[in-house]
């Protein structure tokens, strides 16, 4: 697994990886393979949004990796956004 620099969160003992994988403009089929590989090489920080139209696929991969015992949910930092139309 890659050794990624991390930063401490305020008043928390947890550290967040300074690099994350962005999923914007990633097609659902392609994003699944990308996220699988990213987890395998050490990514634990993912940027998602409903607007990207691939959150279900990202979630499926994360759930698969958890079920396989490769990672735990507590290992991940998932950034998401609310889309408010104007």
Segment 1-24 shows an average pLDDT of 86
Statement: residue 15 has pLDDT above 70 = yes
d(CA 80, CA 47): 6
pLDDT score, position 19: 92
Query: pTM above the 0.75 mark?
Result: yes
pLDDT score, position 2: 67
Statement: residue 83 has pLDDT above 80 = no
Statement: residue 53 has pLDDT above 70 = yes
Cβ neighbours of residue 60 under 8 Å, at least 6 residues apart?
Answer: 32
pLDDT score, position 73: 96
Tell me the C-alpha to C-alpha distance, in Å, between residue 24 and each of 31, 32, 38, 61.
Answer: 9, 13, 15, 16
- Domain-by-domain residue ranges, the chain? 6-79
**Neighbouring C-beta atoms of residue 1, cutoff 10 Å:** 9
Tell me the C-alpha to C-alpha distance, in Å, between residue 43 and each of 50, 62, 82.
Answer: 20, 11, 23
Catalytic residues: 52
């Amino acid at each position: 697994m890659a050794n990624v620099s991390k930063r401490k969160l305020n008043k928390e003992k947890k550290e967040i990886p300074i690099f994350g994988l962005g999923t914007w403009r990633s097609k659902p089929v392609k994003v699944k393979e990308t996220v699988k590989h990213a987890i395998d090489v050490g990514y634990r920080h993912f940027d998602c949004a409903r607007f990207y139209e691939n959150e279900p696929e990202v979630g499926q991969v994360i759930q698969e990796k958890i079920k396989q015992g490769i990672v735990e949910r507590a290992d991940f930092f998932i950034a998401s956004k609310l889309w408010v139309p104007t």
